[in-house]
């Protein structure tokens, strides 16, 4: 089994293996190039994101700077927005759905190191040689999710469609669809319902209109 295949299979692998180092070096350099671009250099940025990510959906945008580990293990849907300092440590697969928005300093991590210190230092590989190893678990984020500033999504987590994750949260377990979750560790606070519509906040909505609804204080919602 090739080293990258081990990564994606969720078994121990060597992050220093030449095969993996070559992928990461290429992506890190592309990220550096992206971070040196101006925001209005849209064509150049599009060329770079097409090289950094396995999939980068139509009309998606990352503010920059960005810090992506492998890139080829990340799939991003259409109309994604990632604010400043997006970090994706995609040793395992990272899948982000359509119409997602991330606040500043969001981090998605997939690798896991052994808990015991001696095992973190080295484990004997298949040839009986001591080697630093870790393993990784995938992260999946559904459609129409909003992750607030400084959210961390940990290995193996799935966040369902239409979720809102409060700023500063550390997500260590799955979050069901249509949930507002927050905290460290993040927990589901409540379900998101139609009662969260802006029509129930006329003092904020002002003269604007919610598509498909009457500005009637929510009476006809």
Query: What distance lies between CA 198 and its chain's CA centroid?
Result: 27
Q: Is residue 37 part of a domain?
A: yes
Is 17 a residue of the active site? no
| Domain range enclosing 55 | 3-205
The total number of structural domains that make up the chain: 1
Q: How confident is the model at residue 215 (pLDDT cuts 50, 70, 90)?
A: low
Beta-bridged to residue 201, according to DSSP, are none
What pLDDT is stored for residue 27 in this prediction? 98
Q: Is residue 213 part of a domain?
A: no
Average pLDDT (29-36) is 98
Residue 132, CB-side half-sphere exposure with 13 Å CA sphere: 8
Question: Which one is catalytic: 17, 69, 73, 113?
Answer: 113
Alpha helices in the chain (DSSP H): 3-9, 18-35, 42-52, 117-121, 202-205
**Mean pLDDT for all residues in the chain:** 95
Indicate the burial class of 25 (C-beta count within 10 angstroms; 0-12, 13-18, 19 or more): exposed
User: Tokens representing 50?
Assistant: 């097409």
Beta-bridged to residue 74, according to DSSP, are 94
Sign of CA dihedral 48, 50, 51, 55: positive
Q: Is residue 211 part of a domain?
A: no
Tell which phi-psi region holds residue 29, choosing left (phi > 0), alpha (psi between -120 and 50) or beta.
alpha
Portion of the chain with pLDDT greater than 90, in percent: 95
Q: Is residue 216 part of a domain?
A: no
What pLDDT is stored for residue 214 in this prediction? 64
Residue 182 · residue 189 · CB < 8 Å: yes
Q: What is the CATH number of the domain that holds 185?
A: 2.160.10.10
Q: Is residue 212 part of a domain?
A: no
């Amino acid at each position: 089994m090739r080293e990258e295949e081990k990564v994606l299979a969720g078994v121990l692998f060597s992050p220093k293996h030449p095969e993996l180092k070559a992928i990461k070096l290429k992506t890190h350099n592309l990220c550096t190039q992206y971070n040196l671009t101006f925001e209005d250099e849209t064509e150049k940025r599009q060329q770079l994101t097409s090289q950094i990510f396995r999939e980068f959906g139509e009309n998606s945008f990352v503010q920059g700077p960005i810090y992506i580990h492998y890139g080829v293990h990340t799939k991003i849907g259409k109309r994604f927005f990632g604010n400043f300092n997006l970090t994706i440590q995609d040793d395992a697969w990272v899948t982000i759905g359509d119409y997602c928005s991330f606040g500043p300093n969001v981090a998605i991590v997939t690798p896991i190191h052994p808990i015991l210190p001696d095992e973190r230092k080295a484990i004997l590989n298949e040839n009986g040689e001591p080697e630093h190893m870790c393993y990784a678990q995938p992260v999946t984020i559904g459609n129409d999710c909003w992750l607030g500033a400084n959210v961390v999504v940990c290995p193996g987590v799935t966040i369902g469609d239409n979720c809102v994750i409060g700023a500063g949260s550390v997500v260590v377990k799955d979050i069901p669809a249509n949930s507002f979750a927050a905290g460290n560790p993040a927990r589901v606070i409540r379900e998101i319902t139609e009662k969260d519509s802006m029509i129930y906040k006329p003092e904020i909505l002002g003269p604007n209109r919610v598509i498909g609804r009457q500005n009637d204080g929510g009476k006809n919602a």
